[in-house]
Amino acid sequence: MQRTEAVYELLKWSVMLAALLGGFLLGGCDGRAQAPPPPAAPEVATVAVSTQRVVLTTELPGRTSAYRVAEIRPQINGLILKRLFTEGADVKAGEVLYQIDPAPFQAALDNARAALGRAEANLPAIRLRADRYQELLADKAVSQQDYDDTAASLKQAEADIQYYRAMVETARINLGYTRIIAPISGRIGRSNVTDGALLTAYQPLALSTIQQLDPIYVDVPQSTTELQRLQSRLADGRLDQNGKNQKKVKLILEDGRPYALEGTFQFREVTVDPTTGTVILRVIVPNPEGALLPGMFVRAVLREGTNEQAILIPQQSVSRDPKGNPIALIVDAENRVAQRTVALDRAIGDQWLVSSGLQVGDHVIVEGTQRVRPGAAVKVVPFEANSHKDGVKPLNDAQPGAK
């Protein structure tokens, strides 16, 4: 019985001790509850807005086309004796491609030359007769009619000589047409006729086609919307097109590889295609190795101009309001958050080109935007701009440089 009472007393004192310790934990020494400390200001990473010099470019799809195209057609009727070129090979201007049977044209030339010789042989006698009749006419030895007939015969003989000379030249030209030559240098395609084929002058079917591939054209369609936007920028003075390499154009091939040589912008069409709403930009590109073939799809990177006062901010610093308008949060001089509505021009790599809404010296929040609201006090820390997880810098749409 005494042992049970001792255990009971021990339990009672243990409960009292636990209650006393709990009171000390819940209250201070004076018995009053302590208030929790105020929360610390959230940290945000910011970048200072500054202007940069940026070369703006536009990437547009395009198709290659031959610099010059010559369709080979016969200029006379005849029979092909032999094809003298290799299909798919490079040919030089003046090189013989086909040989037409020259025998009938050689005979025509010989006939014309003989007729010319006969006319030239009759001329001296007729001229002497006309001279004699002129002298006799002064003495009234011949009639005026006889003299007029002789003078007319002289003029007719001279006209016959001119006619037969033209016939000789025509026969000589036709004989030359029996050798069908290449009008331009380039790469010739397949032959549409074989030896022994009968040809007709200026027939619809071309015998073959020669295309000059060095240099080569790239035709790039540009929408009228983009064209008007570019003209607006130039009119407002936001772009300068007086750069040294303004007309240089880079190409990206179908497999994504850049083409080694730069092209040169030639001209812009003045007519809009009504079906697509685009105008054609023509670029001329060197093609010494023949890597570009007519009809290939490429992408052309064209320079729009240089923006000397461009404002670039990281893309992650821009969000959207409920209406879809782009907004950015900045930190003012009192370290409080303010909201700005911005106008974005385009993405350049991992940055936005800002048209309006920000000023030089503004501190734009890049990291920590989810933890703050406009009007909240924040603690500013620097932003590490070059931290890429994969270590690869994105391909830029323009070429920014520090001003």
Give residue-wise pLDDT tens across range 245-259: 678 889 999 998 999
Least confident residue range of 148-152, 259-263, 296-300: 148-152
Least confident residue range of 127-141, 224-238, 283-297: 224-238
Those residues with Cβ within 8 angstroms of residue 258's Cβ, 6 or more apart along the chain or in another chain: 250, 251, 252
Contact between 147 and 137 under an 8 Å Cβ cutoff? The reply is yes
Would you state the structure tokens that stand for residue 123, as one six-digit string? 């001329």
Q: Which residues pair with 47 in a beta bridge?
A: 364
For range 118-142, the mean pLDDT: 85
- Please give the Cα distance from 62 to 326 (Å, whole number): 32
Domain 47-65+214-402 falls in which CATH fold? Answer: Elongation Factor Tu (Ef-tu); domain 3 (2.40.30)
- Please give the Cα distance from 104 to 167 (Å, whole number): 15
- Please give the Cα distance from 208 to 177 (Å, whole number): 16
Residues of the chain with CATH 1.10.287.470: 103-176
| CATH code at 103-176 | 1.10.287.470
Contact between 316 and 249 under an 8 Å Cβ cutoff? The reply is no
Residues of the chain with CATH 2.40.50.100: 74-100+178-205
Q: Which residues pair with 267 in a beta bridge?
A: 282
Query: Residue 252, exposed/middle/buried by CB under 10 A (0-12, 13-18, 19+)?
Result: middle
| CATH code at 74-100+178-205 | 2.40.50.100
Contact between 20 and 271 under an 8 Å Cβ cutoff? The reply is no
pLDDT for 239 beyond 60: yes
Q: What is the pTM of this model?
A: 0.69
Confidence of residue 303 (pLDDT cuts 50, 70, 90): confident
Q: Can you give the pLDDT at residue 107? A: 96
- Please give the Cα distance from 96 to 84 (Å, whole number): 7
Nearest residue to 365 via CA among 402, 325, 317, 315: 317
- Inter-CA distances, 374 with 47, 179, 231, 315, 340, Å: 17, 85, 38, 20, 10
Contact between 66 and 293 under an 8 Å Cβ cutoff? The reply is no
For range 200-215, the mean pLDDT: 94
Q: In what order do the strands lie in the sheet with 198-199?
A: 179-181, 96-100, 78-83, 198-199
Amino acid at residue number 219? D
Neighbours of 291 (CB within 10 A): 13
- Inter-CA distances, 240 with 59, 226, 246, 265, 313, Å: 19, 17, 9, 16, 22
Give residue-wise pLDDT tens across range 60-87: 999 999 999 999 999 999 999 999 999 9
Residues of the chain with CATH 2.40.30.170: 47-65+214-402
Amino acid at residue number 247? K
Would you state the structure tokens that stand for residue 128, as one six-digit string? 């002497």
Q: Can you give the pLDDT at residue 147? A: 80
